[in-house]
Amino acid sequence: MVPTPAGQSSSQPLPVKELGYFKKIVPFKNLIFTQNSQKSYEQKQYKTGLKFAKQILSTPQFADHGETLAMKGLILNCMGKLTEAQECVKRGLKSDLRSYVCWHVYGLIQKTEKKYDEAIKAYKRALMIDKDNIQILRDLSLLQIHIRDYDGYLVSFGFFGILKIVLGASKYDLLRLRQNQRVSWLGYIVAHHLLKEYSLALGIIAEYIKNNTPSGYDFEFSELILYQNLIMREAGQPDVALQKLEENAAHIVDKVAYMETRANLLMDLEQPKQAEHVWRALIQRNPECLEYYDMLQTCMGIKENPKAQLAMLDALAEKYEKAAAPRRLALYLVEGEELRRRLHEWMIPMLRKGAPSLFASLVPLYKYPQKIAVIESLINEYVNKMDDEGYGNVNLEGNSAECEPATTALWLYVLAAYHYDRVHMVQLALNHIDRAIQHTPTVVENYMLKARIYKHAGDYDEAARWMEEAQSLDTADRYINGKCGKYLLRAKRPYEANKMLSKFTREGENAASHLTDMQCMWYELESGRSFRAVGKYGEALRKAHHVEFHFNTWIEDQFDFHTYCLRKMTLCYYIRLLRMEDKLRCADYYYQAAKLAIKIYLRMIDRPDDMNEHAAMIKEGMTENEIKKMKKKLKKQKEAQEEEEKKKKEKEVKEEGLQRGPQIDAEALLKTEDPLGEAAKFANNIHTFGTPKVTGYALCAEVYQRKEKVLLALKCLNEGVKRDPKHPLLHIQKVKFLKAWPTYDLTGLVRETAEELVKLVYGEEKDAAKLNDKFKIANQHDFASRLAYAEAETFLHPTVSQANWLLKSVEDSSVNGRSLRMMIKLKDGIEYGKYGKWSKEENDKLRKLVVGMFPLALDFGGGVPKTATSSTSDASTASTSSESK
572-605 b/e (C-beta count within 10 Å ≥ 16 → b) = bbbbeebeebeebbbbebbbbbbbbbbbbbbbbe
pLDDT of residue 144: 85
Output the CA torsion sign for 768, 771, 777, 778.
negative
pLDDT of residue 289: 95
pLDDT of residue 641: 66
In angstroms, the Cα distances linking 191 to 150, 156, 171, 225, 567 are: 6, 10, 19, 17, 15
* Residue-wise pLDDT tens digits, 356-402: 889 999 999 999 999 999 999 999 999 999 888 877 777 887 766 67
Using CA atoms of 140, 141, 146, 147 in order, give the dihedral in degrees to the nearest 10. Answer: 70
pLDDT of residue 390: 78
- The C-alpha atoms of residue 653 and residue 749 are separated, in whole angstroms, by 55
Instruction: Transcribe 173-224 into DSSP letters.
Output: B--SS-TT-HHHHHHHHHHHHHTT-HHHHHHHHHHHHHH---SS--HHHHHH
- The C-alpha atoms of residue 728 and residue 725 are separated, in whole angstroms, by 9
Give me the amino acid identity at 378: L
Instruction: Transcribe 78-144 into DSSP letters.
Output: HTT-HHHHHHHHHHHHHH-TT-HHHHHHHHHHHHHTT-HHHHHHHHHHHHHH-TT-HHHHHHHHHHH
Neighbours of 476 (CB within 10 A): 8
- The C-alpha atoms of residue 71 and residue 63 are separated, in whole angstroms, by 14
- How much of the chain is helix, strand and coil, in % rounded to 5? 70, 0, 25
- The C-alpha atoms of residue 112 and residue 830 are separated, in whole angstroms, by 46
In angstroms, the Cα distances linking 484 to 14, 207, 493 are: 63, 59, 11
CB 584 within 8 A of CB 555: yes
CB 160 within 8 A of CB 134: yes
Domains (range + CATH), the chain: 1-131 (1.25.40.10), 519-624+662-688 (no CATH), 689-867 (no CATH)
Query: Residue 388 half-sphere exposure, CB side, CA atoms within 13 Å?
Result: 8
Among 190, 189, 129, 133, which Cα is nearest to 160's? 133
764-783 b/e (C-beta count within 10 Å ≥ 16 → b) = eeeebeebbeebbeebeebb
First to last CA, the chain: 90
CB 734 within 8 A of CB 724: no
In angstroms, the Cα distances linking 834 to 102, 148, 680, 683, 778 are: 58, 43, 22, 22, 22
CB 100 within 8 A of CB 131: no
Q: pLDDT under 70 in the chain at which residues?
A: 1-12, 15, 21, 26-45, 155-180, 399-401, 613-624, 626-627, 630-631, 634-635, 637-639, 641-661, 866-885
- The C-alpha atoms of residue 379 and residue 362 are separated, in whole angstroms, by 12
* Residue-wise pLDDT tens digits, 838-858: 999 999 999 999 999 999 999
pLDDT of residue 166: 33
Neighbours of 863 (CB within 10 A): 21
841: exposed, middle or buried (Cβ count in 10 Å: 0-12, 13-18, 19+): exposed
Using CA atoms of 549, 555, 561, 565 in order, give the dihedral in degrees to the nearest 10. Answer: 140
Coil, strand, or helix at residue 164?
strand
